[in-house]
Chain A
Amino acid sequence: MILQARALTVSIGPHRVCDGLDLNLAAGSRLAILGRNGAGKSTLLATLAGLREPDAGDIQLDGRTYEELGIKAAARLRGWLGQERGDPFASTVLETVLTGRHPHLDRWAWESANDKDIARAALAALGLAGMEDRAIQTLSGGERQRAAIATLLAQQPRLYLLDEPLAHLDLNHQITTLELFARRAQAEGIACVMVLHDPNLALRFCDRALLLFGDGTHVEGPVAEVLNAAQLSQLYGHPLRRVENVFIPE
């Protein structure tokens, strides 16, 4: 198991995000987290990333807790894509993506030609080839989002924790990004947990789903079982109906 959570209880302020959550994520698996705004999706994801402490329960990466791994070894195992994009100081796209190599470098080491090749390949995978020398602040919101995902690819973790990976992305890049992770999950044995807002994309690109109802209750299981009209209507507080024969992007 790449990611294992046992009896995980997470809350933020007075708000209970989940209570006694059990997760088992094997290589190749992709888990979608769905829920309303403020349900605690990002908080749970940051907890799974070891960036904040759970109230109770424990989390293991590859059979070891974050404490046992240490901060730097954990960074070689799991990558986390946050929602915030702020660079107060100027830097190029390549420099930004190379920050992903940090956990693989010794204290005094500088990025090698190999590290730069990895960073360039990551940029190319996100359709940003040729933008290496652009200032990161001149990129559009969607391009910055893709540069952040490229940074994550350069980190080469085995577990990807993606907080709204599709934010700012156009339709084309939403699909290609999800395809990229689906392909890598199968080919390279990585696992993904992603916060999504579109149950259709979760159904299509993920094999498991976790619904956070916002009152501390949750449902987790294979997408075919979990994502049905009744549960999603309850989840979003808005009636949903399943239809066939609609246009979807290929």
Chain B
Amino acid sequence: MPTRRRALLVLALLAAASLASLAVALAVGSVPVALGDVLDALAGADTPARQIVVDLRLPRALAGFACGGLLALAGALMQVLLRNPLADPYVLGISGGAGVGALGAMLLGLAGIAIAGFSFVGALAAMLLVFGLAHGDGSWTQTRLLLTGVVVAAGCGAVVALILTVAPEQKIHGMLFWLMGDLSQATTVAPTLTVLAITLAVALPFARELNLLARGAEQALALGVAVSTLRRLVYFVAALATAAAVTTAGSIGFIGLIVPHLVRLIIGNDQRLLLPAVVLAGGSLLVLADTLARTVVAPTQLPVGVLTALIGVPVFLYLLSRSAKA
């Protein structure tokens, strides 16, 4: 049972870890920059490293942090909303919709901001479609929402496969990178960071109510939680967070599923601490994974989604087996 003081301590530690991960991301790369030079460049000194640190690495690192935080937050919220530990941000088809949008844009020969725009529209369309279908007769249960989302996701998957089949050879590589998750195209970070701040700020005041929702809707209602309003709020916050993340960096896997569980295994399931903690942990993890993705086999860049899975899976399995013994 975390107290408020312990929660603040945990968050301070995670915030320090986030800063450290950002520092590593700015310093490491094909041109190593000493930590002192990184700080000078950030402070505005006109050093040779300035362009590398401020113009190239900083936007990418911040985008990675924002996407990791958004995905972890969305995953934690979806797990509460669906009362299902297997839920992740993509389970309800939002990334599928974004995928159809993004790949469709690439197929049409669009680039840059147009791809992001198309994928955001696709994500919003999937979000409204799932909500509308699941909410149709006014009674929406977790099972109905989950089934609707899974079916919409499967439909989007089929369209994505169709696009990959008919796409010309030279476009396939970019499409696959998008599908696996890739931060190299992320340049404008302000909107993503803003969405992260907004979604966290909207979700946090309801954290104790989410604790009750996770234990069952009827009991939460009997204990004074406006369940149907809260569910809608959580759905749209999680969906918006997912849409913002996939729009920025494609569908990066495993962060949204594994980070909430990792954090839960360490600090428990009190959403008041868990929600801000997963944002910091998810952000740091994705920044580190992306740093690895662009350095391990440099100059070739790996899609970061592959790295998050390769790091996340063994760490998660280790923690799971450890907690089973305890």
What is A's interface to B at a CB cutoff of 8 Å?
Answer: 46, 49, 51, 71-76, 78-80, 82, 84, 86-92, 94-96, 98-100, 102-103, 105, 107-108, 110-111, 155
With A91-B269, A92-B1, A95-B1 in contact, do A84 and B218 touch (Cβ < 8 Å)?
yes
Question: Which chain B residues (264-304) contact chain A, with CB distance < 8 Å?
Answer: 264, 268-270, 272
Residue of B84, B219, B224 near A88 (CB, 8 A) is: B84
Q: Judge whether B216 and A86 touch: CB under 8 Å.
A: yes
Closest to B85 in A: A88
With A46-B218, A98-B1, A102-B212 in contact, do A89 and B85 touch (Cβ < 8 Å)?
yes
Add 13 more A-B contacts to A86-B215, A88-B84, A90-B269 (CB < 8 A).
A49-B222, A51-B221, A51-B222, A71-B226, A74-B224, A75-B223, A78-B222, A80-B222, A86-B216, A87-B215, A89-B264, A91-B268, A100-B223
Distance in angstroms from A49 CB to nearest chain B CB is: 6
Closest to A83 in B: B218
Question: Which chain B residues (83-130) contact chain A, with CB distance < 8 Å?
Answer: 83-85
Q: List 24 A-B pairs, Cβ < 8 Å.
A: A46-B218, A51-B218, A71-B224, A71-B225, A72-B224, A73-B224, A74-B224, A82-B218, A82-B222, A86-B216, A89-B264, A90-B269, A91-B269, A92-B1, A94-B1, A95-B270, A96-B215, A100-B223, A102-B208, A102-B212, A102-B223, A103-B223, A105-B208, A107-B205
Q: Judge whether A108 and B205 touch: CB under 8 Å.
A: yes
Distance in angstroms from A189 CB to nearest chain B CB is: 21
Q: Judge whether B216 and A82 touch: CB under 8 Å.
A: yes
Interface assignment of B189: CB less than 8 Å from any CB of chain A: no
Q: Judge whether B224 and A76 touch: CB under 8 Å.
A: yes
Closest to A92 in B: B1
Once bound together, how far apart are the Cα atoms of A82 and B79, in whole Å?
22
* A contact residues around B1 at 8 Å (CB): 92, 94-95, 98, 111
Bin the interface of chain B by size. 20 to 34
Closest to B226 in A: A71
Q: Judge whether B4 and A110 touch: CB under 8 Å.
A: yes
Sorted nearest first, the 5 A-B pairs with minimum C-beta distance are A75-B224, A72-B224, A80-B222, A103-B224, A89-B269
Distance in angstroms from A92 CB to nearest chain B CB is: 7
Question: Which chain B residues (192-234) contact chain A, with CB distance < 8 Å?
Answer: 205, 208-209, 211-212, 214-216, 218-219, 221-226
Q: Judge whether A89 and B214 touch: CB under 8 Å.
A: yes
* A contact residues around B224 at 8 Å (CB): 71-76, 102-103
* B contact residues around A100 at 8 Å (CB): 223
Q: Judge whether B211 and A99 touch: CB under 8 Å.
A: yes
* B contact residues around A89 at 8 Å (CB): 79, 85, 214, 264, 269
Interface assignment of B3: CB less than 8 Å from any CB of chain A: yes
With A94-B1, A99-B212, A105-B208 in contact, do A79 and B222 touch (Cβ < 8 Å)?
yes
Once bound together, how far apart are the Cα atoms of A60 and B210, in whole Å?
28
With A98-B1, A108-B205 in contact, do A88 and B221 touch (Cβ < 8 Å)?
no
Q: Judge whether A71 and B84 touch: CB under 8 Å.
A: no
Distance in angstroms from A45 CB to nearest chain B CB is: 11
* B contact residues around A105 at 8 Å (CB): 208
Once bound together, how far apart are the Cα atoms of A90 and B1, in whole Å?
12
Once bound together, how far apart are the Cα atoms of A96 and B214, in whole Å?
11
Q: Judge whether B272 and A110 touch: CB under 8 Å.
A: yes
Closest to B264 in A: A89
* A contact residues around B208 at 8 Å (CB): 102, 105, 107
Q: Judge whether A99 and B225 touch: CB under 8 Å.
A: no
Once bound together, how far apart are the Cα atoms of A99 and B125, in whole Å?
37
With A88-B83, A102-B208 in contact, do A82 and B264 touch (Cβ < 8 Å)?
no
Closest to B261 in A: A89
Once bound together, how far apart are the Cα atoms of A107 and B85, in whole Å?
26
Q: Judge whether B212 and A84 touch: CB under 8 Å.
A: no
Once bound together, how far apart are the Cα atoms of A105 and B221, in whole Å?
15
Query: Which one of B214, B224, B264 has the greatest number of beta carbons of chain A within 10 Å?
Result: B224
Q: Judge whether B83 and A71 touch: CB under 8 Å.
A: no
Distance in angstroms from B222 CB to nearest chain A CB is: 4
Distance in angstroms from A149 CB to nearest chain B CB is: 13
Once bound together, how far apart are the Cα atoms of A106 and B85, in whole Å?
28
Query: Which one of A80, A92, A105 has the greatest number of beta carbons of chain B within 10 Å?
Result: A80
Query: Which one of B212, B223, B264 has the greatest number of beta carbons of chain A within 10 Å?
Result: B223
Once bound together, how far apart are the Cα atoms of A146 and B4, in whole Å?
28
With A82-B219, A84-B216 in contact, do A110 and B3 touch (Cβ < 8 Å)?
yes
* A contact residues around B269 at 8 Å (CB): 89-91
Once bound together, how far apart are the Cα atoms of A136 and B85, in whole Å?
16
